[in-house]
Amino acid sequence: MQGTPAFDTGGEEAGFGRKKLREIPLALLLLAPSLLIYSVFVFYPMGRTIWLGFYREDPFGGRVYAGFEQYADVLSSSDFRHSLWVTLLFAMITVGFGLVFGVTLATLAHQRIKGVTVFRTIFSSTVATSVAVASLIWLVLFQPSIGIVNQFLKSIGREPVQWLLDSSTALFAVAATTVWQNLGITFIILIAGLQGIPDDLYESARVDGASSWLQFREITLPMLSPTLLFVSVILTINAFQSFGQIDLLTQGGPSDSTNVIVYSIYQEAFQNRNAGVASAQAVILFIIVLTLSLVQFTFFERRVHYAGGES
């Protein structure tokens, strides 16, 4: 009995490989505009920053190679450690309250009631607000004599607070501005995540007699966990990159209580004219943000529940 004839696919694979090689120039041509933009605005500035981080400014305006000693000096600096602590505290406040308010408003706006579209529009409206506009709005709200916040405190018999001039409250005031500004995009992402949860799960829970809180805890939060992870990463990155509201509201003060790392980089580069230290701080900030993002995806993703898959 004759064996089944074998089909030789080697020639077809070789032809396919040659075809792919011929398409490489076309692929590079199509990618050239994007590569050019990224090279000019991302890759070159990043490489330049890393290079400047190894050099110190001398008194005559030149640069002296310092190597990793400059990074060691920055990490051992009390000013940098203070800025790092302020940044971490600022991030914890903005991310924590941002998630709480975002989930609360998204859950309320997800209800099927008449006129809910109006509230969805209001809750998401801050997405169109720039950092400058948000900062000016809250600058007026926190104004010591005529600001609405202090007027409310007076109405309940409390003393006015110098929100932006007191080192014990300035960071929380700036954090409130940041939470309000980011609330629009947080709400939009979370309401989209809620709309992806099947209604059958809630109907089954109601038939079994589950309360609203139990439905929220056992259905909403687990099914919303992938969205919450994504939002927490975005809010963390935004917190570590915050600059505009700091510059407009407090300029890093009072007593450096709001001097986050990005504002410290600005001061070193443009006020102290020390590009080497500023670049070293920028590189360290990049490593910190990258590490935190990886930690969030690595450890918190284990608690994420994906519909149709394992948690």
- 105 occurs within a structural domain: yes
Q: Two tokens at 290?
A: 């990258």
Q: Say if 246 falls within a structural domain.
A: yes
In this structure, the answer to whether residues 113 and 262 fall within a common structural domain is: yes
Answer for the pair 95, 239: CB distance below 8 angstroms, yes or no. yes
Same domain, 37 and 82: no
Instruction: Give yes or no: residues 151 and 292 share one domain.
Output: yes
142 and 282 co-located in one domain? yes
Looking at the structure, tell me whether residues 148 and 26 fall in a common domain. no
CATH number, residue 184: 1.10.3720.10
- For residues 98 and 45, membership in a common domain is answered with no
Taking the C-alpha atoms of residue 71 and residue 75, their distance in angstroms, rounded to an integer, is 6
| 159-164 contact pairs (CB < 8 A, 24+) | 164/139, 164/249, 164/250
Clarify whether residues 149 and 276 are in a common domain: yes
The span from the CA of 23 to the CA of 187, in Å, is: 43
Encoded tokens for 93: 């406040």
The answer on 244 and 137 residing in a single domain is yes
Lookup: tokens for 167: 């080192």
DSSP state of 64: E
Give the model's pLDDT for residue 114.
Answer: 82
End-to-end CA distance of the chain: 54
pTM score, whole prediction:
0.85
- How far apart (Å, rounded) are the C-alpha atoms in residues 52 and 67? 10
Report how far Cα 290 is from the mean position of its chain's Cα atoms.
11
Residue 267's SS3 state is: helix
User: Are 169 and 261 in a shared domain?
Assistant: yes
Residue listed under structure tokens 């202090």: 150
Please report the DSSP string for 200-241 in residue order: HHHHHHHHTT--HHHHIIIIIHHHHHHHHHHHHHHHHHHHHT
Range of the domain at 29: 13-52
SS3 290: helix
pLDDT of residue 27: 83
Q: Residue 8 falls within a domain, yes or no?
A: no
Is residue 123 in some structural domain?
Answer: yes
**Do residues 32 and 161 share a domain?**
no
Rg, C-alpha atoms of the chain: 26
The pLDDT of residue 202? 86
Distance (Å, whole) CA 231 – CA 242: 16
Question: What is the count of structural domains for the chain?
Answer: 2
With vertex at residue 144, the alpha carbon angle to CA 143 and CA 147, rounded to the nearest 5 degrees, is 45
Decide: 295 and 278 in contact? Cβ < 8 Å: no
- Tell me how long the chain is: 311
Q: Is 309 inside any structural domain?
A: no
CA nearest neighbour of 221 among 190, 184, 186, 199: 190
Side chain identity at residue 288, one-letter code:
I
Instruction: Determine the longest span between alpha carbons in the chain, in angstroms.
Output: 103
- 147 and 48 within one domain: no
Single-letter amino acid, residue 279 = S
Q: Per the domain annotation, does 4 fall within a domain?
A: no
69 within a domain of the structure (yes/no): no
Identify the segments of the chain with pLDDT beneath 70. Answer: 1-17, 19, 59-61, 303, 305-311
133, part of any domain? yes
Q: Are residues 128 and 190 in the same domain?
A: yes
Cis check: omega of the bond before 33, within 30 degrees of 0: no
Alpha-carbon gap, residue 36 to 68, rounded angstroms: 31
pLDDT at 1: 47
